[in-house]
Amino acid sequence: MEKPFIELFSTPNCFYVFEVNKNKFLPISYDAYQFLCNVMSDKNNTDEVPPEIAILQREGYLSARSVVERIQHPYSRFINTFLDRKLSRITLQLTQECNLRCKYCVYSGDKNIKQRSHSNKRMSWETAKRAVDFLYNRTIDSSKVNIGFYGGEPIIEFQNIKRIVDYSETLFSGKDLSFSITTNGTLLNDDIIRFFDEHNISLMISLDGPKQINDANRVFANGKGTYDVVMSNIRHLQSISPEYAEKLIVSMVIDPENDFDCINTICIDGNELTDINISPSIVDKEYDGKATTFSEEYDKKYEYQKFLSILSYLGRYPRNRTSPIANNMVKAAIDNYNRMKTSVGLYATDVPSGPCIPGQMRLFVDVTGKLFPCERVSEKSSAMCIGTIDSGFDFEKVYNMLNIGALTEDKCKTCWAFRYCSICAKKADSGGLGLSALKKLASCVESQNEAYAKLRQYLLFSEIPQFYRGQVRI
Partner 1 sequence: MRTSAALFPFCAQFLPFVKWFSKCQNRYEINKLISLPGLAMIGRDASFSCNHPPIGINVASIPDVFDDSWDTLLISRSNDTCKANDEIYIDFAKKAVFANKNVVWCDNGQAYVPSKLSNLSNHGSKKLNLMVEDNRKIVYPNFGLEYTPIETPVIMVGGILEQADTLELTIQLSNRFTQDGHAVTTIVRNPFGQLFGFHTINHILERSDINENEKIVKMNNYIRAIEFTERPDVIIVEAPDALLRYSDKVSNGFGVYTYILSQAVSPDYLILGAPFELSAESLIAFLSNDFSYRLGSQIHAVHVSNIIIDSMDMLQSHELSFAYADMDMVNEYMHKNMNDTFPLFNVISDGIDNLYNYLCSLVDI
Question: Rounded CA gap, 436 and 272, in Å?
Answer: 45
List, edge to edge, every strand of the sheet that includes 24-28.
6-10, 15-19, 24-28
Binding status of residue 356 toward partner 1 by CB under 8 A:
yes
CB 152 within 8 A of CB 107: yes
**Shortest Cβ distance from residue 74 to partner 1 (Å)?**
8
In the complex with partner 1, which residue's Cβ is closer, 171 or 216? 171
**Shortest Cβ distance from residue 135 to partner 1 (Å)?**
9
Tell me which of 78, 220, 304, 307 binds partner 1, using CB under 8 A.
78
Candidates 45-53, 75-83, 285-293, 384-392: pick the segment binding partner 1 (CB under 8 A). Answer: 75-83
- Binders of partner 1: how many residues, by CB under 8 A? 31
Would you give the DSSP letter of residue 353?
Answer: S
In the complex with partner 1, which residue's Cβ is closer, 218 or 362? 362
Q: How many Cβ atoms are within 10 Å of 449's Cβ, its own excluded? A: 11
Tell me which of 13, 81, 274, 466 binds partner 1, using CB under 8 A.
81
Name 280's bridge partners: 252
Residue 78 makes CB contacts below 8 A (sequence gap 6+) with none
Tell me which of 48, 141, 166, 269 binds partner 1, using CB under 8 A.
141
Question: Rounded CA gap, 245 and 386, in Å?
Answer: 36
**Which of 419, 454, 452, 464 lies closest to 333 in space, CA to CA?**
454
Candidates 142-150, 179-187, 199-207, 436-444: pick the segment binding partner 1 (CB under 8 A). Answer: 142-150
Binding status of residue 140 toward partner 1 by CB under 8 A:
yes
CB 166 within 8 A of CB 195: no
In the complex with partner 1, which residue's Cβ is closer, 39 or 83? 83
Alpha helices in 172-280 (DSSP H): 190-198, 211-217, 227-240, 242-245, 260-264
Binding status of residue 357 toward partner 1 by CB under 8 A:
yes
**Shortest Cβ distance from residue 177 to partner 1 (Å)?**
7
In the complex with partner 1, which residue's Cβ is closer, 73 or 306? 73
Name 281's bridge partners: 253
Question: Rounded CA gap, 193 and 236, in Å?
Answer: 9
Binding status of residue 70 toward partner 1 by CB under 8 A:
no
Tell me which of 27, 50, 75, 444 binds partner 1, using CB under 8 A.
75
Backbone angles phi, psi at 187, to 5 degrees: -110, 10
In the complex with partner 1, which residue's Cβ is closer, 80 or 200? 80
Binding status of residue 82 toward partner 1 by CB under 8 A:
yes
Binding status of residue 339 toward partner 1 by CB under 8 A:
yes
Candidates 106-114, 134-142, 182-190, 294-302: pick the segment binding partner 1 (CB under 8 A). Answer: 134-142
Candidates 13-21, 71-79, 124-132, 312-320: pick the segment binding partner 1 (CB under 8 A). Answer: 71-79
Instruction: State the DSSP string of 438-473.
Output: HHHHTTHHHHHHHHHHHHHHHHHHHHHHHHSHHHH-
In the complex with partner 1, which residue's Cβ is closer, 341 or 411? 341
CB 149 within 8 A of CB 179: yes
**Shortest Cβ distance from residue 472 to partner 1 (Å)?**
23
CB 194 within 8 A of CB 162: no
Question: Rounded CA gap, 295 and 9, in Å?
Answer: 25
Interaction residues for partner 1, span 148-207 (CB under 8 A): 170-177
Would you give the DSSP letter of residue 45?
Answer: -
Binding mask 84-123 for partner 1 (x = CB under 8 A): -xx-x-----------------------------------
In the complex with partner 1, which residue's Cβ is closer, 81 or 212? 81
Residue 383 makes CB contacts below 8 A (sequence gap 6+) with 397, 425, 428, 429, 430, 431, 432, 433, 434, 435
- Structural Rg of the chain based on CA atoms: 24
Binding mask 358-397 for partner 1 (x = CB under 8 A): ---x------------------------------------
Question: Rounded CA gap, 110 and 97, in Å?
Answer: 14
Question: Rounded CA gap, 35 and 57, in Å?
Answer: 14
**Shortest Cβ distance from residue 404 to partner 1 (Å)?**
15
In the complex with partner 1, which residue's Cβ is closer, 22 or 85? 85
Candidates 30-38, 130-138, 307-315, 370-378: pick the segment binding partner 1 (CB under 8 A). Answer: 130-138
**Shortest Cβ distance from residue 346 to partner 1 (Å)?**
17
Candidates 135-143, 158-166, 241-249, 316-324: pick the segment binding partner 1 (CB under 8 A). Answer: 135-143
Interaction residues for partner 1, span 12-41 (CB under 8 A): none
**Which of 149, 272, 268 lies closest to 204 in space, CA to CA?**
149
- The H or E element that residue 386 is part of is none
Tell me which of 143, 159, 222, 239 binds partner 1, using CB under 8 A.
143
In the complex with partner 1, which residue's Cβ is closer, 136 or 395? 136
Would you give the DSSP letter of residue 107?
Answer: T
* List of residues contacting partner 1 (CB under 8 A): 75, 77-78, 80-82, 85-86, 88, 136-141, 143-145, 170-177, 339, 342, 356-357, 361
